[in-house]
Amino acid sequence: MDLSKAQPKEQAKIAKKYFIAGCFCMPLMWLVGVLWFIKPALITKDPSPDPMLKRWLFACGIGLVASSIVFVCWNIIFQSLRESFGVTGESLTAVFPRGRF
């Protein structure tokens, strides 16, 4: 879909759908929403872009940053404390270290 041909209200509706999809455990949709709508919302020749589009773009950006922070924190904690989790840590491990099992 070419966003330059869509009306500003239609762009805002699509951005809202991307934000809602990201709320349902699909933060990759927030990344797609940010990358897709940054140009029509912020980098535009139009002096006054649709404020709803900007709102949904910033909501997607905040969700993306928050979910990225949570993911990185969980990854660091899990990798450093996996052995202390006991059986639960072993069952959550997808790739076992060499020489352990």
pLDDT in tens, 62-71: 999 999 999 9
**Global confidence as pTM:** 0.77
Quick one: pLDDT at residue 101?
A: 54
Quick one: pLDDT at residue 97?
A: 67
On whether residue 73 sits in a domain, the answer given is yes
93 phi and psi angles, rounded to 5 deg: -80, 130
**Count of the separate structural domains present in the chain:** 1
On whether residue 94 sits in a domain, the answer given is no
On whether residue 95 sits in a domain, the answer given is no
> Cα 3 to the chain's mean position, in Å?
20
Query: With 70 as the cut, is the pLDDT of residue 78 above it?
Result: yes
On whether residue 77 sits in a domain, the answer given is yes
| CA-angle at 36, arms to 65 and 61, nearest 5° | 15
On whether residue 67 sits in a domain, the answer given is yes
Quick one: pLDDT at residue 74?
A: 93
